[in-house]
Structure 1
Amino acid sequence: MGRIRVGISGWSYPHWRGDFYPTGLRQRDELAYAGERFGTIEVNGSFYSLQRPSSYATWRAAVPDDVPLAVKGGRFVTHLKKLRDVETPLANFFASGVLALGEQLGPVLWQLPETLAFDRDRMATFFDLLPRSHRDVAALAARHDDKLADDRALITTDLDRPVQHVLEFRHRSFCEQDALDLLREHDVGCVVADTAGRWPQAEAVTSDVVYVRLHGDRELYRSGYTPSALDRWAEKCRAWAAAGDVYVYFDNDGEGHAPRDALALQTRLER
């Protein structure tokens, strides 16, 4: 049986202050507060811009040693380049500090835009570029260009641990068997995304990691999960754990539901 970890997607939300975060808690202490309460945290600032090694190191130090930090891949790769000609952008992304997470590096999430349909050749080429170990990350990171200054790059590691990748798609063509088979061939996890029906939800297990993102089941990013809905997700998670490790992230942060729902699901899974 794999391990089930539950957490939140991001942690720096002003409207959580005085609600999930106690009044008076310093902003720089919010990640530590969340890390003490959840089994994992998803870093999503990395999607919007290249971060710094010092930031990744700070995040790692803020959470307990047994709390992995998943990292969301950069939108420059997925949304602007749409996965074409991305070897250098990937090198820049991985050189920006991902290795500073060390043994606490969780799965790397690649989220595709809803306009990007499945193309076998494009996806296979992209999957072949993905580093599969910390040493592979370092080798790829060393090929970064001058968009990332040397003093902002981290390209060395003493670890040789595996690196897992997962794909969150938003075009229905990825639900076809050919697409799912390609994910299996490349050992890339299929993200189970609950999006209030806006985008397709595939529950295929395509690697030894099952990655779940709960964006809201009735209203995207805003609605909370009812007790019965959380019961159903707990049952699903227990079943998926037979195939490998399960990571669940709540992204319904609009009304502050994410941390409360994450705690409620975590409690169910601990029974």
Structure 2
Amino acid sequence: MSAAAKGAIRIGIGGWVFEPWRGVFYPDGLSQKRELEYASGKLTSIEINGTYYGSQKPESFAKWRAETPDGFVFALKGSRYITNRRVLAEAGPSIEKFITGGVLGLKEKLGPINWQFMGTKQFDPKDFEAFLKLLPHSVDGQVVRHAVEVRHDSFRSPDFVALLREYGVAVVTAADSKYTQIADATAPFVYARIMGTQEAQPEGYAGKDLDGWAERARVWAAGGVPKDLDAVVPPTEAKGGRDVFLYVISGDKVRNPAAAMALIERVGGKG
């Protein structure tokens, strides 16, 4: 497949404020106010976690956009007050409030929204489809992309995969973890969260494992589906390629930036 037909690969970490990164990832003496600027110079994306736990000031999103370089993209988690409800079909007003509460201030740097569900949430086809119908794909002319992170084995269903493909929503591929893995590509982009970094590895993962994740990212970007991940239904190719968002999350968190940077180097650097 030609380079023109490949999607962009963006790799990063969850958040940027973490005290143990200071002196390890962040240089000694770097002001906390400049940590996002520094991190975005080394990575190609960051997943904002604070939006899951509570609302952020609208001006914060505009500030984060201004502090990061051209081409940098943020993913962010949807509010837990939306995903942790019993009846998802009733989430419409809360979704609208979340989307219009400042996130659009990221403008061209707004990547996918990750709607993360608790491990106790089971697949209810009717209610989950009602939720998918509530997710806007464009607001005031701005594209809004969505991914869902589900953690109950009941979602390992062809019906779930079919719903996501119908509504153009990605399923988060959880890897190197205890969580349910659904590696099906269901949208024009792929969203992966890898959680297996180890303290004993200076770059979080052994070299061969980093090579493996870099290759999977390239396969996704070329429109393919890695054959060594656990999908529910037979894979479908995307002739135009797929954008890839891959985040090194959890595991030995101190090592996550090193792993992300090692992967960025393997897939061709920051461009």
Normalised by the length of structure 1, the TM-score is 0.85
1:204 maps to what in 2?
184
Q: Over the residues paired in the alignment, what is the CA RMSD in angstroms?
A: 1.8
Residue 248 in structure 1 maps to residue 255 in structure 2: no
- Residue 89 of structure 1 deviates from its aligned partner by 1.3
1:161 maps to what in 2?
142
- Residue 65 of structure 1 deviates from its aligned partner by 2.1
- Residue 104 of structure 1 deviates from its aligned partner by 1.0
Aligned equivalents of 2:48, 2:87: Cα separation in 1: 21
Residue 106 in structure 1 maps to residue 104 in structure 2: no
Q: Structure 2 matches for 1:9-88, cutoff 5 A?
A: 9-81=14-86, 83-88=88-93
2:259 maps to what in 1?
261
Counterpart code for 2:121: L
Q: Which runs of 4+ in 1 moved over 4 A?
A: none
Aligned equivalents of 2:96, 2:268: Cα separation in 1: 39
Normalised by the length of structure 2, the TM-score is 0.85
Counterpart code for 2:142: R
| Counterpart contact for 2:197–2:259, Cα < 8 Å | no
Question: Unpaired runs of 5+ in structure 2?
Answer: 1-5, 224-241
Q: Deviations over 1:218-238 (max 9, x none)?
A: 79xxx9322111111111111
Task: Tell me the matched-pair count.
Answer: 243
Counterpart code for 2:131: F
| Counterpart contact for 1:47–1:74, Cα < 8 Å | yes
Equivalent in 155, 160, 163 of residue 182 of structure 1:
163
With over 3 angstroms needed to count, the CA separation of the structure-2 counterparts of 1:9 and 1:82, relative to structure 1, is farther
- Residue 184 of structure 1 deviates from its aligned partner by 0.4
With over 3 angstroms needed to count, the CA separation of the structure-2 counterparts of 1:218 and 1:183, relative to structure 1, is farther
Aligned equivalents of 2:33, 2:251: Cα separation in 1: 19
Q: What percent of counterpart residues are identical?
A: 41
- Residue 168 of structure 1 deviates from its aligned partner by 0.9
1:270 maps to what in 2?
268
Q: Structure 2 matches for 1:93-172, cutoff 5 A?
A: 93-135=98-140, 160-172=141-153
- Residue 257 of structure 1 deviates from its aligned partner by 1.0
Q: Deviations over 1:106-163 (max 9, x none)?
A: 111111110011111111111111111132xxxxxxxxxxxxxxxxxxxxxxxx1321
Question: Unpaired runs of 5+ in structure 1?
Answer: 136-159
